[in-house]
Each structure stands twice: as structure tokens, then as C-alpha cells.
Amino acid sequence: MERRTLGFSQKAYTESIIKKFVQENAKPCLAPLERGVQLTKANESQTEEDKAKMKSKPYRSLVRSLMYLACGTRPDISVAVAKLSRFLENPGEKHWDASIKAVRYLLKTKGVGIVYDGLLGTQLEAYPDADWAGDRDDRRSVSGMLLMLCGAPVVWRSTFRRLSL
């Protein structure tokens, strides 16, 4: 039987992000977000000096670049991008460091993309997930889902729940 696959990646775009935001000799990271790292409002810039320092860094541009990648072909960085994007208005040094680590993860995974394999069948698979009050700032929950077809993601989503009791 002939193997039929269809694949998408954004390798050239990924390489442009790497070139723009990290040094050539940077050490790759194993994950887009360090295990156990907590990005909260407490990490935001507090003083005017810190705010001015962070304004000189292209945090918004970096997160926007990662978001484009995550929405296109890289669901593996979606959680990290969602967390980083919560601090676009007032990022702190810890947020900047986490965003650079996400780019360093791309060093190791430049060619990763989505590959649909025709031999895996066309049954749609759905995977839901949620944390319960996992956000440290306002105790909101995050829920998410992943739909897979032919062994690869078709749709992925993660949202903060806005529940009032």
C-alpha cells in the first residue's frame, strides 16, 4: 500500500525568529516553558526604571511572532505563548527570560510541523483538558481541547474560564 502523507511546517519562519531574537551559539531548551515556572503579575515591572528597561526589549514582537507560529503549525508552543501573552502590557524581566527560552526551544525543533498520515485512518479524535483554578493571579481555570485527524492536530484551543460564583 502506498504511503500518503501531507505535511506543513514553518521552518523558514522559525529560523527567522531564532535569528532575530537569540544568539547563534545559544543553548537549546528542552521545552518551550520551563517546568514549574510561574509567570504572574508579581513578575511585572514595578519601577519606572524597570518599565523603561523592558520597553527597550521587543517583548511584544517576540510574543506576536511565537503566536503566529503557534496558530499555524506549532501547537506544542501554544501553552507557553498563551502564558506569555498575558503580560504584553507590562512584562517583567522574568517574562522576557521565559520568552527567550521559548525561542531557544525552537532551536531544537526548527523543522517540527504537522503531518497527516493517510494510513492512520480518518477517525476524528478529541482530547479535552482543564486545570482547576490554576491561574495564580485570579484563580481562573484554563480549559483546552485538541482535535486530531490522521494522526495530527486539526484544531487546538485553550481558554481561560470566566466563571462567577
Displacement of CA 76 from its chain's centroid (Å): 7
Provide the 10 A C-beta neighbour count for residue 28: 15
Tell me the three cell numbers of residue 106. 525552537
What pLDDT, on the 0 to 100 scale, is given for residue 134?
67
pLDDT digits (tens, 9 = 90+) for 14-25: 999 999 999 878
Q: Where are the domains of the chain?
A: 5-119
pLDDT digits (tens, 9 = 90+) for 51-89: 899 899 999 999 999 999 999 999 999 989 988 998 999
Q: Are 113 and 9 in contact (CB under 8 A)?
A: yes
What pLDDT, on the 0 to 100 scale, is given for residue 120?
86
DSSP annotation string for 117-155: EGGG-S--EEEEEE-SS--TTT---EEEEEEEETTEEEE
Q: How confident is the model at residue 143 (pLDDT cuts 50, 70, 90)?
A: confident
Q: Are 130 and 112 in contact (CB under 8 A)?
A: no
Task: Provide mean pLDDT across the span 21-40.
Answer: 89
pLDDT at 30 exceeding the cut of 90? yes
Q: Distance between CA 53 and CA 56 in Å, rounded?
A: 6
- The share of the chain scoring above pLDDT 70, in percent, equals 94
Q: Which of 73-77, 83-87, 141-145, 158-162 has the lowest mean pLDDT?
A: 158-162
pLDDT at 116 exceeding the cut of 70? yes
The mean pLDDT value of the chain amounts to 89
What pLDDT, on the 0 to 100 scale, is given for residue 163?
61
Burial (CB count within 10 angstroms: exposed 0-12, middle 13-18, buried 19+), residue 140 = middle
Task: Provide mean pLDDT across the span 14-39.
Answer: 91
Task: Provide mean pLDDT across the span 117-138.
Answer: 82
Q: Are 131 and 119 in contact (CB under 8 A)?
A: no
pLDDT at 164 exceeding the cut of 90? no
Q: Distance between CA 50 and CA 129 in Å, rounded?
A: 36
